[in-house]
Structure formats: structure tokens, C-alpha cells
Structure 1
Amino acid sequence: MKQMKTRNKWLIAALAAVLITGAGFTTVKLTDNYFEISKNLEIFTTLYRELNIYYVDETNPGELMKTGIDAMLESLDPYTNFIPEADMEDYRFMTTGQYGGIGSLIRTVDGDVYISEPYEGFPAHKSGLKAGDKVIEVDGVTIADKDQEQVSKLLKGSAGSVVKIKVQSYGDDKPRMVEVKREEIKIPDVPFYGIIDEGTGYIKLNSFTRTAGKSVREAFQDLKNNEGMEKLVLDLRGNGGGLLVEAVNITNMFIPKGLEVVSTRGKITDWDKTYKAINEPLDTEIPLVILVDEGSASASEIVSGALQDYDRAVVIGRNTFGKGLVQQTRDLFYNSKLKLTVAKYYIPSGRCIQRIDYAHKDIEGGVKEIPDSLLHRFETVGGREVIDGRGIEPDILIESEKMHKILMALLEKNLFFKYANKFSLENEDIGPPEKFGLTDEQYDHFADFVISFDVSYTTSTEKAFERLLTTAREEGYYDPATHEFEKLRERIKPYGRNDLYNFRRDIQLVLEDEIVSRYHYQTGRIKAALAKDPAVDEARTVLKNGTYKQILSAAYTRK
């Protein structure tokens, strides 16, 4: 009994030390939970020891512990994670956009790993590696039995080190050895900016790493001072967020100094904080459009939401993701970290845009959106109505187009990637990316290429028809009308070649994007997409036809 009491004292003392040092001497009201925490720590410690000593088969203590930790954190929300020392490089990449490696995307196609897109100007590109090169060996290690993540780790390494990669290019009979000197790879936050219309600038922001604000500032100043920019489109589509402080810095560029950008509130009130614009802005008058979609999250929603709340920008696109949770990392033993949700953030109108309620799960552990009955209405500075709990609703909605079954099948079979390999081998150049388009003859060649593969898919119409047949058989209507039913089955059966032309517009857009990347890389992809982008077209229209100020007025009704 004395030993038990002593152990409890040590556990409570250890907990107190963790809470004091971990929170930076923050007062945490957990006194009532001390016994519950210490009791469960003892149970877990004993269970873990007994399991590793007496389980019938050999156990891996590290894997067991990682599994237990991951399951525990998963029960809270998707953003609270344990980061072991082995994954610290991935964590560094997430916050800085930097890693040591060759500078290329890779992908798995039919069980093999391929170079899919070298970053222009980085080691892979400079060493002659091309999209479509099949990776065979990395530093003498055969990768036939390795997955994409394992190959990625082999390709990464400290800057300055040399990696030998055996690859086989599309159309070549024999593999070749390529030596690549690794570098510190920094994925640009702003992969492209330029003038897209007379006086209209465009900045594509992909992430919110530590250099995001600096990158946007430099792009803005170049466009305004050297290119004659008078209006701006800031593209945050697909930008999943990053550092909150960079979202504040970017918002600060367009609103007066001293205005609130975002505030955070959590269980530990000492950590509650209000972030204001502390610098002189770049421009508080330039007409500004923000592009968003369902992939715009967190920091992207702070920027678009704050600028919407101040009636400073017209937001165009689709509803954003709805992540209003703030994470913080805490240092743990053995160079590991805990990334955990510590607060919710609130943009200037007072709304929190968090969509999913992780605090109230159903009996099976599932989560749901915050119900409409619990949503609240707020107003922008100019009196426009906005709501919480649904991400950022755009001022002008661009409807998403449904992806056709044949397009999904072509993507699943990697046929765009495979055909782009063939096309780039047969065509030396395609000209400027923004002017590239497949001719009818070239599309016919693609259709012939696709038909040579087994591309099968089931449409929603076919599924509905099978349900109809089941009901018809049950009710006795099938036998008298067998011929008619089977004739209809043939009529609705998808035929690959017909569908390739029925849905040519959407298929061709994806194919052209893949082909352009072979010649002009990521910058070319963006330039080509801008010429065919309905959201960008809408932004151009709003900035040109005089409706910009009307949309920002209280009388405006969202489309």
C-alpha cells in the first residue's frame, strides 16, 4: 500500500511538472482530474508492460505504443497528431515547405513508381529526369517491392549528397543511371503571378509557410510597380492553409493598420489572443477578388473571411472547407512532438467558420456538420449578412461540374499520364501553354489509344436500371417484357468510344493539362488553366463591368 501511495505521488508530481513546463507556467484547472489521469496512467503502464512480456507472439513495443497513441488522438479530431522523430522531416516540410531531396513528384502506375513531374530548375530537372521515367533502383536498392512512400524516403536526403537513380524512359529499350545532387528544396508559396487581363494582376498562393507573406508582397509590388496592375485576383483554391501568422500578414496588406484580423479562443484563456494588422498596408483601395473552393481551408479561410467581413474583397468560387480550429505543437521526449487543437478562431464579424462538430459524435464515432438550427447570423462592416459554421460562402458561386464516370475511369487507369508520355515522345514542342489545344486529329489518336485498354465503368443509369430489373422480376413484369428490357439495357450500356466524344470537353481539359506539364511544368499548367477557368472569367467580368462595388454593398443578394 505504501508503495502504491508513493507511486501515485510521483505520478501526480510528474503531471504537475508537465502541465507547468508544457504550458509555460499557464494555470490549468485540472485539479479535479489529477486522480483520474494518474489512475489511468497506472492502468495503461501496467497493461503495456504485461502485454509486451506475456503476449503469445513477439511484440514490437514501439509499434504498439504508436498504434495506441494514434487511436487515442484519432478519437478527438483529425488534426491532433503524434509526430515521432522519424517523421520530423515531414513536419518540417509542412511548416516551411522545405526538404532535402531531388525536387520531383512521383506516382505509382500499374505497381511501378514513376517520375511524374520534376520541379523546374531543381535537381531532378537539371539532371535530365523527365515525367514518365520509371524508377528501377535508388542507390543500388531495387524498388520493385517498395511502395511510393518508401521510394520517396529513399530519394530524400541531406542537401549536397548524391543519389544514383536507375530509370527507364518511355520508349527506351534500356535503363540509364542518373546521378542527382540533392538540394534544399523549397516549394514556392507563389508558383505563378502575372497580368491576365488589361490592368488585372493574378497571384496564385499554394500554401502558408513561413515565406508566404514575403512571397505575396514581392509579387504584388512587382505587378503594381512594373506591370501596371490596377486590380488583383488572389487565388486561394486548393490552398489547405498553414501558419496563422502568415494569414494575418497577407490580410494586413489590404486593410488599414490596427484592424483585427482574427482572434483565437480555447480552454486555456491565457492563450486566447487577438491578431491585428500591425504593419502599414500595401494598398487598401485596389479592387480585389479572392478565388476559393472546397480545398481552401484554415489560413485561406482567415484571409478570404476577414477580407469579406471588411467588405474589402469579392469572394468568388465554391464554399470553403470549414476548418476553424487552431493547432499548436508541444515538444515531447525523444525529439517527438504533439500537434494538438488548442482553440477555435473567429474572424472580424465574430463568426467561427468550423463546419464539423468533433465534440459531439454519434454512437459509432461518426461526426456531422453543425446543424442549421445552431448556426448564427453576422454582418460585415457594410451590413452584408454572413453565417458561421459553413466555411466561407462566396459572394458569387461557381457551380462545380459533376465528374463523368468515363473521366474517373481514365484517371484511375492513369491513361492521361500514359498518353502524355507517348505524346511528348512524338512531339518536340507545343508552343506557349496558354495557346495549346489538341486538334481533332490528335484527340482521335487519344481515343484510339484509350480503346486499346480495358476501360470499364458502371454508370448511375446502369445501377438504377439493375434496381428496376430486380423490382420488375419481383412484381412479375420482367418476363412479359424481357425483349424490351434487354433492348433498353443495350441502349444505356456505356460505350467507351462514344463517351470519349460525348464528354470530350471535360476529358480534353484534363488531357491538355497533363500534356502541358511535360513541356512547361507547373507554371505552364497554371497559364494554360487560366485561359479556360470559369472562376477567373467571372473575376475578370466583376472587375471590368462595374459590379464590384455593387456586390460589396448591403443591398447585394448572393448568386
Structure 2
Amino acid sequence: MRQLFRNIALIGIGLVAGIAATIQLSATAQQGTNTLPLDELRTLSNVFGQIKREYVEPIEDKQLLTDAVKGMVSSLDPHSAYLDKKDFSEMQEQTAGKFAGLGIEITSEDGLVKVLNPIEGSPAAKAGLQAGDLITRLDDKPVRGMSLDKAVRTMRGTPGTKITLTIFRKSEERTFPVTITRAEIKVQSIKAKIVDNNIAWVRITSFQERTIPDLAKKLAELANKDPKLKGLVLDLRNNGGGLLQGAVGVAAAFLPPGAVIVSTKGQAPDSKQVFNAVPAMYKLNESGDPLDEVPPLFKKIPMV
């Protein structure tokens, strides 16, 4: 489908800050005091006590309560999750696009860890890891039976430290060890290039803190390289998601002013909000220097 870019704008993170919902536990407790499910809470308390008394091994109170809260939140819908302090810190690393580790995108397959893609220039890429490789051991620990979260935490660590991965490569039908030194990994969520026939290609792998300014920079670079651009391919295949403000900012760059990007709703009266595309210039938080508006060229070319 082809459509003209009538207006292109970028919006800053501040414009969508209000979209984050803050749950105030004290207020919730006060509002729901008369309707607390006392029988169900009593059942929870009884199960907690029985586990503490009769389970084969001692379990810390914090672990039991944290797991109970995680189960309660995850049952709401596939997109709801409870993050403890450590999980939240790891999420912040991912959305910042910077962390210490090996530099591979992974998933689970048949109880093992599968390499989806080594990040270009990362320690994993330099060590020769390939897409499709299966990780069977992390140092002396077998991967089978290990959760993906635990595998991630095991492979991440302090820059300069080493870990040995045991790799099974299907294409060669062989198993071999690879020792990799951890390093700081910087993930670029925006990739762009000029393809044939004056068409630009922009790939967005995830929506991170720097996705909006990085997109503006990439579009400016493309416009400078080829002032006769005829179209743009915006590639969002296998996008891993990320920060809502990043997604809203990207949408605003390709929608006319006033177009509805996203709306929110909920039980609280102030949860119903609508966010529209608005013309704006993005400013870098680090230096305060304004970025140029998206090049006018992109207001005229069609999107493919």
C-alpha cells in the first residue's frame, strides 16, 4: 500500500509520559476494604502456612509471596507481569539498549537455548556463533531444564569475565566449546540503508529509549545520501516491542497531525486518554541540542 507523507513529526518522551499508570496500593486498599475476598485470602494464608510446615525443603517467605504475586498478575492477560527489583533492573537495561553480556538474541527450542542472531560486532559474533546454534551447557551447567530467564542471567555478567558455552551446530552435526569474554553490549534498534531504485529501507528491531532520536538521525542521513528518494520501506518484522513512548514516537513520524496514535482506558476516571500525532522537534536529553525536524524529503515520498 502506498500513501503520501503529508506531514512527518516526532514527539518527545515527555508528551507521552502521562500514559504510564501508577498503582497506588494504599488508595486501592482503602477503596476496596469492604469488598476484600476474606475467604480466598484465608485460603492463601492456609496454603502458605502448610507449605512452610510440610514441604520437603525450607522455602523463604519472600520467595513464596513473590511467586504468589507473579501468578496473580500473570493470570490477568498475556501482557501483564510483576517485576521484582532485579527483574525491573534487567528490563531497564534492555530498553536502554545497553547491557553487559555476550551479544546474542536467543529463544528456547526443545529445552535448549537457541541462538537467533549474534549482534554485529559483539563478543558472540567475534567468537563465531551463528544463527541456529543450540547452547547445551553454560560452563559446567546443563541448559536442559533451565528457564530462559536463568540462562540469560547466567550469560550476562561483569565485562571482562568469561563463560564457556557448549554449542551444538546442526548444520555440521558437531558439538564444541566456545569461551567468550563478556563485554558491554550496545544494541541499535534502528538500521537503515538505500536499496535499489531510490528506495530507502528502515528496520526497527525494538522500541527503546533512543529509538525516536535515532530514527530522526537515520532519516536525515538517508536524505543526504539520496535526495531523489522515491519511497521508504519501514520494516517492523519480528519487532520485539519495548517502550510505548518509542512506538508512539515512531507512529507520529509517519502520521498527519491530529491522527489518533493510541488511546488508553481503565477503571480509574483519569485512565481514559487519547494521544495524537503533533508536529514537534525532538531534543537530546544529554546535550540539549535540538535535532532537525525529519527532512522535508520524507514528507513527499510514498511509503511502500
TM-score bin (small chain)? 0.5 to 0.7
Distance change >3 Å, CA 248–CA 24, structure 1 → 2: farther
2:280 matched to which residue of 1?
Answer: 279
Indicate the residue corresponding to 1:123 in structure 2.
123
Change (3 A) 1:158 1:268: farther
1:107 touches 1:148 (CA, 8 Å); kept in 2?
Answer: no
Q: In structure 1, give the amino acid aligned to 2:243.
A: L
CA distances 1:163-201 after superposition (whole Å, capped 9, x unpaired): 3445577769884553x23223233212x3222332221
TM-score between the two structures when normalised by the length of structure 1: 0.40
Equivalents in 1 of 2:94, 2:219: separation in Å? 25
Q: Is 1:220 paired with 2:234? A: no
- Structure 1's unaligned 5+ residue stretches are 1-20, 290-538, 540-559
Q: How many positions carry a matched residue from both structures?
A: 265
Deviation of the 1:121 alpha carbon: 0.7
How far off its partner does 1:162 sit? 3.0
1:88 and 1:218, CA in 2 relative to 1: closer, same or farther beyond 3 A? same
Q: Per the alignment, do residues 68 and 23 of structure 1 end up closer, same or farther by CA in structure 2, a change over 3 Å counting?
A: closer
- Aligned residue identity for 1:194: K
Q: Which letter does structure 1 place at the counterpart of 2:68?
A: G
Residue 184 (str. 1) matches residue 184 (str. 2): yes
Taking the TM superposition and a 5 Å limit, the aligned residue runs for 1:64-213 are 64-106=64-106, 115=115, 117-131=117-131, 135=135, 138-139=138-139, 141-143=140-142, 147=146, 149=148, 150-165=150-165, 175=176, 178=179, 180-190=180-190, 192-213=191-212
TM-score, with normalisation over the residues of structure 2? 0.67
Q: Per the alignment, do residues 250 and 46 of structure 1 end up closer, same or farther by CA in structure 2, a change over 3 Å counting?
A: closer
Match of 1:424 in 2: none
Cα offset, 1:88, TM superposition: 3.4
Q: Is the CA contact 2:111–2:145 (under 8 Å) kept in the aligned structure 1?
A: no
Give 5+ residue unaligned stretches, structure 2. 1-21, 282-292
Contact 1:97 1:209 in 2 (8 A): yes
Deviation at 1:287, TM superposition (A): 3.4
Identity %: 24
The DSSP-based 3-state class of the residue aligned with 1:213 is helix
Matching residue of 1:248: 248
The CA RMSD over aligned residues, in Å, is 3.9
Highest relative contact order (Cα 8 Å, sep 6+), 1 or 2?
Answer: 2
User: Structure 1 residues 70 and 168, CA, compared in 2 at 3 Å: closer, same or farther?
Assistant: closer
Q: Is the 8 A contact 1:258 1:278 kept in 2?
A: no
Preserved contact between residue 101 and residue 184 of structure 2 (Cα < 8 Å)? yes
CA contact (8 A) 1:102 1:123 kept: yes
Match of 1:440 in 2: none
- 1:264 lines up with 2:279 in the alignment: no
Which position in structure 2 is the counterpart of 1:231?
231
What secondary structure sits across from 1:83 in the alignment? Answer: coil
Compared CA separation, residues 147 and 200, structure 1 to 2 (3 A): same
Deviation at 1:40, TM superposition (A): 6.1
Q: Deviations over 1:417-471 (max 9, x none)?
A: xxxxxxxxxxxxxxxxxxxxxxxxxxxxxxxxxxxxxxxxxxxxxxxxxxxxxxx
Does the aligned pair in 1 maintain the 2:112–2:144 contact within 8 Å?
A: no
| AA in 1 matched with 2:280 | N
Contact kept, 8 Å, 2:143 with 2:151, in 1: the verdict is no
Q: 1:69 to 1:30 in 2, by over 3 A?
A: closer
Cα distance 1:33–1:147, how it changes in 2: closer, same or farther (>3 A)?
closer
